[in-house]
Amino acid sequence: MHIFSRQIWAVTGIGLGVAILAMVWSIANTALSSIQKDLSASVLQLQWMMNCFGILLCVPLLTMGKLGDAYGRKRLFLWGLIGALVSSVIAGFANHIGVLIACMGLFGLSGSAILPLSQALLVHQFPESQKEKAVGLWSIFASMSIAHFYSCFRDYAGTHLGMEFLLHIGSICVELYEYLRICCS
């Protein structure tokens, strides 16, 4: 039972790290018109904001995986989470589009550490015979978080978080519990 509970905590913690990436990406995408209006940003600047995130997320993926092997996967994963937190907080208080572009770049770089290392950390929590389940759980967590966060913030971005938000979070928890119960037992 100890191994099972350790796997659940690992899947939950690592999955929430991946969900952060999906959440910020969804919030930024759904708030583009508000960002454009509030910060007097041009379409080109908005494109740079999203492209900085995408480029700095994708280009260093292999390098971050290699750095995780060299300096510790957990350590670099945690630094990625800290970088994501710092960039998100600064972006939340940004009053200039240049600051927001830089924050999205830092967030993308942090995400390039979170993505490959989350998979590596998760796979090491399961025995050899269950590694496919670990990758499947990671994929479920990533895809569910994108779908749920997008639907949550599509209607509520910048206005209020109501009961529907809580229902989406509740449905995520129920679905994850079911997947964990089925896959980890």
pLDDT in tens, 115-170: 899 888 888 888 888 888 777 777 777 777 666 655 555 555 444 444 455 455 55
Asked whether 89 and 105 are in contact (CB, 8 A), the reply is: no
* Amino acid sitting at position 101: I
164 Cβ neighbours under 8 A, 6+ residues apart:
152, 155, 156
Instruction: Judge whether residue 2 has pLDDT over 90.
Output: no
What Å distances lie between residue 49 and 55, 107, 108, 149, 151, CA to CA? 10, 11, 10, 20, 22
Structure tokens at 40: 């007097």
Closest CA to 57 of 126, 22, 106: 106
pLDDT at residue 125, as a whole number: 81
Per-residue model confidence (pLDDT) at position 157? 45
pLDDT of residue 171: 58
Alpha-helical runs (H) found in the chain? 2-30, 32-39, 43-58, 61-71, 73-92, 97-123, 131-156, 163-184
pLDDT in tens, 67-100: 999 999 999 999 999 999 899 889 888 899 999 9
Q: What is the tens place of the pLDDT at every residue in 19-72? A: 888 777 777 887 888 889 989 999 999 999 999 999 999 999 999 999 999 999
Instruction: Quote the pLDDT of residue 158.
Output: 43
Exposed/middle/buried for residue 133 (C-beta within 10 Å: 0-12, 13-18, 19+): buried
Taken in order of first residue, the domains within the chain and their CATH numbers are: 2-184 (1.20.1250.20)
